[in-house]
Chain A
Amino acid sequence: MLDADAVQSRRLLAGFGRRDEPARRAPWPLLAAGLAIAGLALLPLVYLVVRAFGADAASLDLVVRPRTFTVAASTVALALLVGLGTVGLGVPIAWLTTRTDLPARRAWAVLTVVPLAIPSYVTGFAFLAAFGPRGALQGLLAPFGVERLPSIGGLFGATLVLVLVTYPYVVLSTRSAILRTDPSVEDAARLLGDRRVAVFRRVTLPVLIPAIAAGALLAVLYALSDFGAVSLLQFDSFSRAIYVQYRASFDRSLAAILALMLVGMTLAVTWGEARLRRRAGSYVTGGRSTRRPPTIVPLGRWRWPAFGLCVAVVGLALAVPAGTIAWWLLRAVGQGEPVRLVVDGTVNSFIAGGGAALGAVALALPIGLLVARFPSRLASLVEGATYTGFALPGIVIALSVVFLATNVVPVLYQTLALLVLAYAIRFLPQAVGAVRAAVVGVGPRVEEAGRSLGDGPVRAFVRLTLPLLRPALVAGGALVFLTTVKELPMALLLGPIGFETLATEIWDAASEGFYARAAGPAMLLLALSAATVAILLRSDETGR
């Protein structure tokens, strides 16, 4: 009963070639390059498994130690709370900014997603520096005899910070589902006898649930992988435990085993997210050309409370970090903190970020070409392999790369090249996404025209397709650059001795309570976050 046409059109939507074009066989150099890159991307995961299974019996006993269970339980608790918190915050905000007469709705639509670009350890640092034991709030209250504030750390602080950084995932996925759902569907339900509330319960919500869940799972994935915020706020989830274990002991097998357990959790979450996203996609591709805009619900007397909610959320997620950092920056200037630290950190961050961007784009180009031009089962597998970096927490990749380097290629250990390579693997998915979309957009016709005018295949590619791809390559590279600059755990574990980036400087200073010293680099990272948002919004407008 499955209509062939419907299947075909969904295949087209999913990006499987064109209807009139049989799949072509990929040239072998391209395929070989693709396979090599896929192998490179899989290397950290494979080596981690090898290493963990190579552990002796004594260290396997460590797996069942109570400590391991405590860490696992803490991690699960954090993940659950972040999931609930992001849904509780993200769904109302998504609805308010799309379907209601909320005052300044368009401005809120942008402002409420900006926190996504701020690294968790910057927000974590800001919360410590604002509400922590020696933070700004305590300083302001000191004249009134307030000696101590309750601790901001632990599960509460970690949950709060992570929710504030990740709720935009839920806002984005829910909002896009709301906007793509045909509003006639709700009209249809009313005409079949349901009142507004019943329509919401029986139609609106069920249609949105896969999208909401997909967003929440992204937030959970982030929380599982997060290192910066949980470390600063001293909450023992897997990533912090792995780091402590790695730094503290000579036997690194336990770190490997903990990392593998974390990978198990993130892979399960990633798999669930991918499944739900597919279902959400099939739910919301109902209507076509003649869609009316969503009906706007008047909020009535709830209009200003809703406005208040947006003020509170954006205030906590944006204004508090920015304000706190600015406050400490002023104090830092007053105390005469050395500017040299900030300059060094910036230079190093740009070197690492630039290298990672070039590397990721270079690795992504063959993959993008292979997948978009020569779709096949093997090509899909190759592409899937390059997405490992997305599912693996940065701390896990870093750990595995450290093991690999020390045991297999000691020459590379503690070099900038290794850090850059690890970054390129980690952020490869972002670059592949950009390249692949661009290759599909350019299409094979231009190159075919070049061939018919006398160019060989390589020459035609270099003269025609490559220049057309350039904007996308630059955009993809810029995204990788900005993400790399904000990255923390890999810089900590893989950076050569004495190689301080903006991220590690913030972490070093903040974890020891030198808030003023952390303020300068933190302000720079906030500015870079703003740049990330600007790029993402622009590519969003130009359709992907």
Chain B
Amino acid sequence: MTDRRPAPNVPAVRITGLRRQYGQVHAVDGLDLEVRPGEMLTVLGPSGCGKTTVLRLIAGLETPDAGTIEIGGRRVAGSGASVPPERRRVGMVFQDFALFPHLSVRDNVGYGLRRDPDREVRVRELLDLIDLADAAGHMPYQLSGGMQQRVALARALAPRPDVVLLDEPFSNLDAALRTQLRGEVREILRAAGTASIFVTHDQDEALTLGDRMAVMVRGRVEQCAPPEVVYGEPATPFAATFVGIANLVPAECHASQAITRFGAVRLVGPRAARAEGRALVVLRPEHLDVLEAPDGPAGLDAWQVLRRRFAGTEILYEVVAADGERLWVEAGPGVRRLRVGDSVALRLRDVETVAFPSGPSTSAGAVSDPLIEGSTVA
């Protein structure tokens, strides 16, 4: 197959105003997204936020109600265009792999190359890439989950698609294998130089894999930026609390500065200069030092430890103030192990963060709860 890869400045995928409704449910509700050539974009969102629907719309397995999709600069859906899936040049790795059960590994990988004179060569090249040359003659049911995963990826890459879509590809695998495959998949895609969209509900996956990540909720993209920017300068309260642990603390803003009960923080991000008046600022657990003085140094409030969560090198504590405000804070190895009921004081570090204007209805202290993820409380 001739290499019809688009020029480097053309986005691999460009989506504008995409909508798809099922009955009363707006699965995708005015979504904009762009994937740059060679980039891996992770899409992170809670279950049911429309992530999978977006992939199926890009692949042509569903038809959008409105909006346009361009792949490699070519309009494939919207404004009259409707290219069938087989001519979209999109590769897809399904959640359950969807290998052809009646074909060997070799024939699975070569499936999309049937008119390609160099089929044999290309298949061997891909089998080497996924390190499964020895298993070329095996049938899918003889492979472990991790191997099936790699075959699915090679099969999607074989016809040199403009973009590869990965739909929660690790969700059927156990945790140890998942971490290992994360690295492998990233290497394989990087070596192939193909742009990819990787959908997941696992924030570790989204943070570690993506060149950029899109945070999606209720059919829209809340923020699309490199992972460290999404973490450091979340665009919305949802993005702040969904990626990592965030305390939303009431503050008074003025001139790129916010005054909290702990003192002043500097505001960053595109809206920093415009923030005025009452707002909620994002304080990550690592933004606060925990001081184990029962009465606290002069001028600091006393907080009581509510519960404790061990997280490797540091320990997270949920603490509550006399006025009922709750926060998650982090104590490094220097701090004595605190017990539930202990009194502590909190001191703000040198912090750059973002603020969200708080409307009258916004309640203070909207905190994402790390315990939802099933960790143990000591």
Contacts and interface: CB of A to CB of B under 8 A. Distances in A.
Interface stretch (B139-147, B224-232, B307-315, B340-348): B139-147
B248 interface: no
B96 A191 contact: no
Nearest to B111: A192
Closest 5 CB pairs of A and B: A192-B112, A287-B96, A3-B144, A184-B98, A283-B101
B135 A191 contact: no
B84 interface: yes
Interface stretch (B87-95, B253-261, B324-332): B87-95
Interface of A: 1-3, 5-6, 10, 181-182, 184-185, 187-195, 202-203, 206-207, 209, 282-291
Contact of A286 (B87, B97, B134, B138): B97
24 contacts: A1-B135, A2-B138, A2-B142, A6-B142, A6-B143, A6-B144, A187-B61, A189-B111, A191-B59, A191-B61, A191-B85, A191-B156, A192-B86, A195-B84, A203-B102, A207-B100, A207-B102, A283-B102, A283-B141, A285-B141, A286-B99, A289-B172, A290-B96, A290-B171
Contacts of B99: 185, 188, 286
Contacts of B60: 190-191
B345 to A, nearest CB: 47
B59 A187 contact: yes
Interface string B254-276: 00000000000000000000000
Chain B residues touching A, majority SS: loop
Interface of B: 59-61, 84-88, 90-92, 94-102, 111-112, 114, 134-135, 138-144, 147, 155-156, 158-159, 168, 171-172
A203 B102 CA distance: 8
Contacts of A182: 94, 96, 98
A187 B97 contact: no
Contact of A185 (B100, B134, B158): B100
- Which of B90, B111, B143 counts the most A-chain CB atoms under 10 A from its CB? B111
A3 B147 contact: yes
A282 B101 contact: yes
Nearest to B141: A282
A290 B172 contact: yes
A188 B95 contact: no
B167 to A, nearest CB: 9
A182 B101 CA distance: 10
Contacts of A283: 101-102, 141
A193 B138 CA distance: 24
B86 A286 contact: no
Contacts of B156: 191-192
Contact of B159 (A190, A192, A207): A192
Nearest to A295: B61
Nearest to B144: A3
Contacts of B84: 190, 195
Contacts of B59: 187, 191
- Which of B61, B100, B114 counts the most A-chain CB atoms under 10 A from its CB? B100
B101 A190 contact: no
A1 B146 CA distance: 13
Contacts of B86: 190-195
A404 to B, nearest CB: 44
A185 B141 contact: no
Nearest to A10: B141
- Which of A2, A3, A192, A203 counts the most B-chain CB atoms under 10 A from its CB? A192
A194 B112 CA distance: 8
A493 B155 CA distance: 61
Nearest to A291: B96
Contacts of B101: 181, 185, 207, 282-284, 286
B98 A185 contact: yes
B96 A188 contact: no
Contact of A188 (B102, B141, B155): B155
B97 A287 contact: yes
